[in-house]
Amino acid sequence: MRVVVAMSGGVDSSVAAAILQEDGHEVIGISMQLYDQRDKDSGFGNCCTIDDLHDARRVANVLKIPHYVVNFEQPFSEHILKPFVDEYAQGRTPIPCVHCNSELKFSTLLDRAIGLGATGVATGHHARVVHDLTRNSYMLKRGIEPKKDQSYFLFPLTQEQLKHAVFPVGHLSKSAIRAYARNRCLPVSDKPDSQELCFVSSGKHASFIEQNRDHLARTGKIVSTNGQLLGHHKGVHRFTVGQRKGLGISSPVPLYVLKIDAPERNVVVGPREALEQSHLTASTVNWISNKPKSTFTATAQIRYQHPAAQAQITPLENNRVDIEFNTPQTAIAPGQAVVFFDGETVLGGGWI
């Protein structure tokens, strides 16, 4: 079949394209241009650069497949950058990678792919899709290597999107992916993985937000749980629940961010044990298959690479859920995603 591969210039998406080609599919490589490459003051970080686009083109040349760069600046700004800034302005901690997957790669890019006569969109995600013939539905499963699994970021995908999703490297370990790339003489076989957000350099998210919303740089108070004034800060967007370093205050015991009150511009801090909670609610929940009708037991993961924990999950009205963990979880942060699993299968997820 004809498949469009989202080529980022990294080793995972490059190997995804190579595997599909080797399997006999007609492969078209597409790289997304997410910002104006001529703008040196854009604030963008270490991914999706001119060099990355060149790497994707070099891989396409080795594989002898067509490669196109598509301008996605407007949808990226609308669906990723603006919500990112808005969330921090509200004292929440966003995950833009989730929106990028559901609203760009498997929505906007999928539309482009269908326009090219393709039947699927492939990415280098460490995840798997399995078609359940008995129920005629698609299941999303974890990637085979636990430390690299990225199914957490894919929980908003619908059945229609999963029908067209292809994850060629989800059954491979990272070492096997690099070995395959070297065997196929791909020029990115030893290229380091990106560890940060694609549009913000490490430690620079506050300045990026201020550049896009300058009025957020407003001072506020750092207070204890009983309201005692401990210090001042330069903007609530500089904090996230669970943060310890960079508070700008001195204390005989380590203090952590417990809560961010954006309207009052207050950051509440306290001891580590105060971070532990057993209960949360989540909204805008997406169920990969059918929505459960009553409380059920599953594991729930509150952050990427945070261990999934046993919990009782109760579906509520208006696409919400109530979650009660068997053991307290540390630093449950508003704005993060909570994803539900049955073993290796993703059941769904929502926003804390």
* HEC letters along 36-78: CCCCCCCCCCCCCCHHHHHHHHHHHHHHCCCEEEEECHHHHHH
- Both tokens of 132, joined, read 């359940």
3-state secondary structure of 248: coil
Tell me the CA end-to-end span of the chain in Å, nearest whole number: 39
Residue 140 identity (one-letter amino acid): L
User: Counting Cβ atoms within 10 Å, is residue 63 exposed (0-12), middle (13-18) or buried (19+)?
Assistant: buried
pLDDT for 205 equals 81
User: Counting Cβ atoms within 10 Å, is residue 176 exposed (0-12), middle (13-18) or buried (19+)?
Assistant: middle
For residue 128, the surrounding DSSP H or E stretch is: strand 127-132
Which residues is 269 bridged to in the sheet? 257
3-state secondary structure of 160: helix
Residue of 255, 222, 201, 211 whose CA lies nearest to 88: 211
Which residues is 138 bridged to in the sheet? 131
Please calculate the CA angle 100-308-294 and round it to the nearest 5 degrees.
Answer: 90
pLDDT for 41 equals 52
3-state helix, strand, coil in the chain (%, to 5): 30, 30, 40
3-state secondary structure of 110: helix
pLDDT for 206 equals 84
pLDDT for 202 equals 62
**Sequential pLDDT tens for the chain (352 residues):** 999 999 999 999 999 999 999 999 999 999 998 876 655 555 555 556 788 999 999 999 999 999 999 999 999 999 999 999 999 989 999 999 899 999 889 999 999 999 999 999 999 999 999 999 888 899 999 999 999 999 999 999 999 999 999 999 999 999 999 999 999 999 999 999 876 677 776 667 888 888 877 677 789 999 999 999 999 999 999 999 999 999 999 999 999 999 999 999 999 999 999 999 999 999 999 999 989 999 999 999 999 989 999 999 999 999 999 999 999 999 999 999 999 999 999 999 999 9
Please calculate the CA angle 111-93-225 and round it to the nearest 5 degrees.
Answer: 160
d(CA 218, CA 236): 8
d(CA 278, CA 176): 39
pLDDT for 49 equals 78
pLDDT for 47 equals 59
Catalytic residue status for 198: yes
pLDDT for 87 equals 93
pLDDT for 211 equals 83
pLDDT for 199 equals 76
Residue 200's contacts (CB-CB under 8 Å, 6 or more residues apart) are: 43, 44, 45, 208
Radius of gyration of the chain (CA): 21
Among the listed residues 48, 97, 100, 185, the single catalytic one is 100
- Both tokens of 30, joined, read 């597409």
